[in-house]
Amino acid sequence: MTLIKAKYGELKGPWLPSSAGSASALIILLHGYGANGLDLFGMAEPIRQALGDQTIAIWSPDAPEPLPGADEFFAQSAYQWFPLSTLDRDDMKHHVKAVVPIVRDAILAATAALDLPMSKVVVLGFSQGGMVALETCLALNDSVAAVIGLSTSYLGEGSDAVLKSKPAVTLVHGDADPVIPPASLQMAVEDLSVAGIKAEAHLLPALQHGIDQRAFDIAISAIASGLGSTKAAGH
């Protein structure tokens, strides 16, 4: 199958179009640090199969910045949503806020092109992509159907965060994650709660920094719930 790429706003990446003339919904996948859109695109067809709906379009854009310090070949396949010069929380908050307008504009451009309301959009992010998904979707004027963060953290700080919408949020983390501490899950739940968002949280035993079948199944349930689907396989 020929790989199709789509560009909306400043972002471009692998695209799985609706099997019909128009899309019934849009799922956007945001990859982690040092990866690219193809990293999560392998989930695209399994997601549609699990939901039983081939009319859902799925887009997995590359982050806007090539990974610094990579050689010429690697730089074409490794991207970052924001720099990780330090792991200081305040530093990361500053950087993630800078990329939010880029991702927001890309989401708005995609929904306009597909003639879809935000209520038919789901954004799923892994690791750094999850941080961006949370920050961006909470800054949209209209709520998306669902935001799903896998092995990630929330960089906003409760009532200090400027929230324009309050979508359904689902968070999944492994208790053996060596990259982003498992404690980040509870911290995110508490900060979101202060901001008026009750996140659904899942701490999975023995899961490291990745996505296993359990995490995938939870994501499918969240997508189905957000889109009002009753077709999710096994749910």
Higher pLDDT, 165 or 72: 165
Q: Which CATH superfamily, name and number, covers 5-227?
A: Alpha/Beta hydrolase fold, catalytic domain (3.40.50.1820)
Question: In this predicted model, what pLDDT tens digit does every residue of 119-170 receive, in sequence order?
Answer: 999 999 999 999 999 999 999 999 999 999 999 999 986 555 567 789 999 9
Q: Please check the confidence at residue 222 and state whether its pLDDT lies above 70.
A: yes
SS3 of the chain: the string is CCCCEEEECCEEEEEECCCCCCCCEEEEEECCCCECCHHHHCCHHHHHHHHCCCCEEEECCCCCEECCCCCHHHHCCCEECCCCCCCCHHHHHHHHHHHHHHHHHHHHHHHHHHCCCHHHEEEEEECHHHHHHHHHHCCCCCCCCEEEEECCCCCCCHHHCCCCCCCCEEEEEECCCCCCCCHHHHHHHHHHHHCCCCCEEEEECCCCCCCCHHHHHHHHHHHHHHHCCCCCCCC
pLDDT of residue 233: 42
Per domain, the residue ranges of the chain are: 5-227
